[in-house]
Amino acid sequence: MSEECCLACDNPRLASRCPVSLRFGEPVGRILRAFPVVALLGALMVGFPIGENKSAHGVPTWTVLTDIATANSPEEGDLAVSTDGSLVHSVWRANVGGGYQIQSARYSSATWSDVTTHTSGSVSAYDARIFSSHDGSTVTLTWTMTGPSFNRDIYVASSNDSGATWTSPVRLSNSSYSSGAQIIDGSSNGTIQYVSWNEWNGSGWYVKIAKSSNSGVSWSAATTLSDAGVDARGGIAVSDDGATVHVIWRRLVSSKYQTESTSSTNSGSSWSTPQIHSDTAIRTHVFEPRIASSSDGTVVYATWLEGSTTEVTVQQSSDSGVSWGASDTPGTGSRQQLSPSVVVSEGGSIAAVSWSETDGSKFLARVAVYASGSPTSFTLSEAGQTVEAPVLTSSGDGSTIAVAWVRPDGANDTVQAAISSDSGSSFSVQTVVSSGVNQYSPDLVAARDGSSTFATWSSSGEGIKFAKFSEPSVSSGGSSSASAGVPGIYLSVNGVLLGKQVQGSPVYYGADRVAVTSTYVLTVTKVSNVAPSVVTLAEGTIGADGSFSSMVRLPELAPGTYNVRMSGTHTNGATLQLTSQVTVGSGVFTSIGANIPVIR
């Protein structure tokens, strides 16, 4: 075997160039020899992480799209996206008319709308946050604004026509005192919305909350949730029906801060006695509490920093916050950690926590993925440079998890991101943008259906940028490698998915220089003694160069054994078939068997 071929066999994607090797679902690096005729099938790639796909076909990438805003020194962008990714809303602040004003726009059909300016006059508006319903039709903005009285107040403005028109700004806080650190969330249809913030009353800081029951048109008077002594931003999580709400904060008690939360299961009509999450026996300081919940509000994850090394601490509840399990620490014990964020899947079976952590010299981006309650931690950024605070997002089912951060490249600060398309089993790290100016303040949001992930950030002197992450997709053609070897088809049911949730898991498939204009089909069939039920996952016609690469996500599968099968046609007319047999139990993979090649 030539040196070139040996190198190809060490790479799951390039193994298709090796005419005498096949990959039968074994661990990476274990190669089985086969008869030369079977090599017509190309590589049987099982278990290659998305980050290892180095082929010319279907490499997942970030694409920088049209700028969100460039005029009047815009900054502090925030995003919200509809379930299917077809509608994106953005809010930011810009220096207009002698003051910092709040502006917004929407993105659809590859175009940004005209900018709407929501404030005016000699004001300083900042820290804008955005919420949208799942379909993107209902949108609410909230921000902090300082006016002529120099007190800071919390405002909201809402739209019920996808951002085409807006209500006038409404003040939620008490204008006699200062407020800040507001957070917002709401029901899936946008009818019920909550804004929480910290407010001074003349003698102490308290957590307040206001509710809208008519899509942001009007708001209730504020309710006080905490005792005095709160400080800094907390977190909020709202169930899809708007009935269950969780709010978390930190509060100064006996000269030490502690993490507290409260919950409501009746749409904010009443609230539980605040729970204390942090270690009151040791009484160390806590920082940056955050909270997230499943779509029904039952499964809840809380995270915060605690201790002299500010260690990321995580606690879970499975009964809507009534009781909480023991806390765990997914980071490296003695190393300082900062800036935690948390997300939870709709069903509550997957959660992720991101943070930055020192390696003794620089701060690195890290993430812990919780499947069935247990964490697996990853270091995402390279050593040698310190990252800014990472931001975190996920799709509704948790199959897509994304983390973004800013990291110097030696000349300027760049935006980087790590994406997992297999529920956090593996991550692909890429540079979203690197240019001749500094980038800062990234935000990240994934469509609920996992079809797309969007990022925004500020670019020094250039405005607010916007990018979209694209998975591999079927194309009518694609360039083949100059060192192309044996043609064939390929199929990958990722071996690292064993024990993971089936619904939403990715299946990678494609062809390399097979019969032009021939058809392909990818199916999943339950193994049964009765007439099998065949579900078509993907089908189409091969393009002009006979090659393509793509990914599709599995539907929910009942317990049983299934054949995931890719079929195509060789240039000599032979039918090529690859089958990966998998077993499903209680919604997760219990086995992922060897790929079986057939030529007819």
Q: How many helices (H) and strands (E) does the chain have?
A: 1, 42
What pLDDT sits at residue 101? 97
Q: What are phi and psi of 12, to 5 degrees?
A: -55, -35
Q: Cβ distance 333 to 385 under 8 Å?
A: no
pLDDT at 127 over 60: yes
N-terminal to C-terminal alpha carbon distance within the chain: 28
The angle formed by the CA atoms of residues 43, 587 and 539, to the nearest 5 degrees, is 45
Taking the CB of residue 473, how many other CB atoms lie within 10 A of it? 12
Distance CA 447, CA 81 (A): 6
CA distances from 106 to 114, 117, 166, 209, 345 (A): 8, 13, 12, 27, 26
Assigned token pair, 204? 């102490």
Taking the CB of residue 308, how many other CB atoms lie within 10 A of it? 10
Task: Report the DSSP pairing between strands 311-317 and 300-306.
Answer: antiparallel
DSSP class of residue 424?
A: T
pLDDT at 363 over 90: yes
pLDDT by residue (tens digit) across 167-212? 999 999 999 999 999 999 999 999 999 999 999 999 999 999 999 9
Going by C-beta distance under 8 Å and a sequence separation of 6 or more, which residues neighbour residue 534? 523, 524, 525
State the Rg of the chain over Cα: 26
Distance CA 406, CA 388 (A): 5
Distance CA 211, CA 208 (A): 10
Going by C-beta distance under 8 Å and a sequence separation of 6 or more, which residues neighbour residue 2? none
pLDDT by residue (tens digit) across 520-564? 999 999 997 777 789 999 998 988 878 877 778 888 899 999 999
Please list the residues that pair with 523 across neighbouring strands. 536, 565
Residue 6: pLDDT band with limits 50, 70, 90: very low
CA dihedral (409, 415, 418, 421) positive or negative = negative
Please list the residues that pair with 170 across neighbouring strands. 156
Assigned token pair, 323? 């009781």
Distance CA 113, CA 350 (A): 35
Nearest to 404 by CA among 377, 429, 378, 436: 429
Which of 141-145, 341-345, 494-498 is predicted least confidently?
494-498
Helix, strand or coil, per DSSP, at residue 114: coil
Task: Report the DSSP pairing between strands 575-585 and 534-541.
Answer: unpaired
What pLDDT sits at residue 57? 34
Distance CA 195, CA 383 (A): 39
Q: Cβ distance 428 to 49 under 8 Å?
A: yes
Taking the CB of residue 423, how many other CB atoms lie within 10 A of it? 28
Secondary structure in 3-state letters for 446-510: ECCCCCCEEEEEEECCCEEEEEEEECCCCCCCCCCCCCCCCCEEEEEECHHHCCCECCCCEEEEE
Going by C-beta distance under 8 Å and a sequence separation of 6 or more, which residues neighbour residue 51? 426, 427, 428, 429
Assigned token pair, 256? 């030490």
Q: Cβ distance 417 to 403 under 8 Å?
A: yes
pLDDT at 437 over 60: yes
- Give mean pLDDT, residues 479-497: 60
Nearest to 375 by CA among 428, 292, 313: 313
pTM, rounded to two decimals? 0.74
Going by C-beta distance under 8 Å and a sequence separation of 6 or more, which residues neighbour residue 10? 29
Assigned token pair, 8? 């190809």
- Give mean pLDDT, residues 85-98: 94
DSSP class of residue 172?
A: -
pLDDT by residue (tens digit) across 21-71? 222 222 222 222 222 233 334 333 222 232 333 333 334 578 899 999 999
Distance CA 43, CA 591 (A): 21
Task: State CA 140 to chain mean position distance.
Answer: 21
- Give mean pLDDT, residues 273-295: 90
What pLDDT sits at residue 543? 83
Mean pLDDT of the chain: 85
Assigned token pair, 70? 């460039």
Please list the residues that pair with 105 across neighbouring strands. 90
Q: Cβ distance 261 to 302 under 8 Å?
A: yes
Distance CA 343, CA 301 (A): 8
pLDDT by residue (tens digit) across 204-215? 999 999 999 999
Nearest to 308 by CA among 287, 327, 326: 287
pLDDT by residue (tens digit) across 407-431? 998 899 999 999 998 899 888 888 8
Q: Cβ distance 367 to 356 under 8 Å?
A: no
Distance CA 51, CA 418 (A): 9
Q: What are phi and psi of 351, to 5 degrees?
A: -140, 160
Phi-psi sector, 254: left (phi>0), alpha (psi -120 to 50), beta: left
Assigned token pair, 493? 């049911």
Distance CA 332, CA 358 (A): 9
The angle formed by the CA atoms of residues 167, 168 and 169, to the nearest 5 degrees, is 115
